[in-house]
């Protein structure tokens, strides 16, 4: 019988970071901070984006800076080349929002490569892809770390999966799932137009560069799909009824025309706010799943409602189950921000290492 490697002799996992935007940059900063605290982290070998991949050596921040400044190239996608050099036990961190990268999650897992992701296009699109990811993780004995995909690392997915694993039955999940929309409707009180709040949120970095991505409700739909699947519900995207806040005329514009046309939002939102205030209610953008179906949209809630509290970018999620039938399990905390998202990614990396 061959001798087994002692823990200190085990080959160290290699780590590749895909994505050098705000989340990728925050990941590198936190990685270096944890290194200084001498945590047991795999070596960050490469940082890559759609343009270039660079070896980190002992200076991942320098590699990150160079990658961010790189010009577009041609040929085989960089992520495919870099991950092609990895093997079982290595780790890919997906800090992108790329469909092309998300399509590779299941094949990587099947090879035994762990995937840690903030990209919602893995478990938050077609159910067939989510099922393929789960099957591939089992086949490859690899971990799929997706805590950063919903709630910026709040213990939402972990809590739902633990309830299901313990035999509990989840009846409903409802929540304020978008940090940007939470901030907008916490801020919007009628003292200024809604479009002014949207511009303020964009400057603060709370929305996507094109705020229609947030206002359309599509991001919340994806998060609701991820939560539903964690609860064992095989929900498809077209089964979620979505109320977009974006008028058709605004949706049809090019990205460069959006800012000047944002006042198209104002009249409808002012009317909704006035109606809510007249009834003593608060506007919240909510995703909900229950036995009657799934929906995403703006709701006027009583001030004492479980989802009506919080402030700023807080996410608030209420989980109704057999165990929590009288009063829901409520999870609340910051639901947006590169730093908390990066922390969730590193938590999942550490969970892989300690497994």
Distance between CA 160 and CA 166 in Å, rounded?
A: 10
- Check if 223 is active-site: yes
Q: Which of 120, 223, 241, 282 is catalytic?
A: 223
Distance between CA 44 and CA 145 in Å, rounded?
A: 17
Distance between CA 92 and CA 116 in Å, rounded?
A: 6
Within 13 Å, how many C-alpha atoms sit on residue 304's CB side? 0
CA 298, distance to chain mean position in Å, is 20
Would you please indicate which residues are annotated as catalytic (active-site) residues?
223
């Amino acid at each position: 019988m061959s001798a087994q490697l002692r823990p200190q002799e085990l080959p160290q996992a290699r780590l590749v970071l895909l994505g050098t935007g705000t989340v990728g940059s925050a990941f590198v900063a936190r990685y270096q901070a944890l290194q200084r605290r001498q945590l047991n982290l795999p070596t960050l070998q490469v940082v890559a984006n759609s343009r270039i991949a660079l070896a980190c050596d002992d200076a991942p921040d320098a590699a990150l800076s160079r990658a961010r400044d790189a010009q577009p190239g041609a040929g085989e996608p960089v992520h495919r080349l870099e991950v092609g050099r990895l093997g079982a036990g290595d780790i890919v961190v997906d800090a992108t929002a790329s469909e092309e990268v998300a399509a590779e999650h299941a094949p990587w897992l099947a090879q035994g490569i762990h995937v840690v992701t903030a990209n919602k296009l893995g478990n938050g699109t077609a159910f067939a892809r989510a099922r393929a990811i789960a099957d591939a993780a089992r086949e490859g004995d690899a971990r799929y770390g997706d805590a950063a995909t919903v709630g910026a690392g709040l213990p939402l997915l972990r809590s739902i999966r633990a309830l299901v694993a313990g035999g509990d039955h989840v009846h409903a999940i409802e929540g304020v799932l978008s940090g940007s929309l939470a901030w907008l409707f916490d801020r919007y009180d009628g003292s200024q137009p809604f479009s002014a709040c949207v511009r303020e949120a964009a400057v603060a970095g709370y929305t996507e560069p094109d705020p229609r991505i947030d206002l359309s409700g599509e991001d919340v739909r994806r998060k609701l799909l991820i939560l539903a699947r964690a609860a064992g519900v095989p929900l498809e995207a077209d089964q979620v009824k979505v109320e977009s806040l974006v008028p058709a005329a605004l949706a049809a514009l090019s990205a460069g025309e959006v800012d000047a046309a944002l006042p198209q939002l104002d009249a409808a939102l002012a009317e909704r706010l006035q109606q809510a205030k007249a009834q003593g209610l608060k506007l919240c953008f909510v995703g909900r799943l229950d036995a009657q179906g799934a929906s995403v949209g703006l709701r006027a809630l009583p001030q004492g409602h479980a989802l009506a509290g919080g402030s700023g970018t807080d996410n608030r999620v209420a989980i109704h189950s057999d165990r929590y039938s009288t009063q829901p399990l409520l999870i609340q905390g910051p639901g947006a921000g590169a730093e908390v998202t990066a922390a969730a990614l590193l938590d999942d990396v550490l969970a892989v290492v300690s497994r």
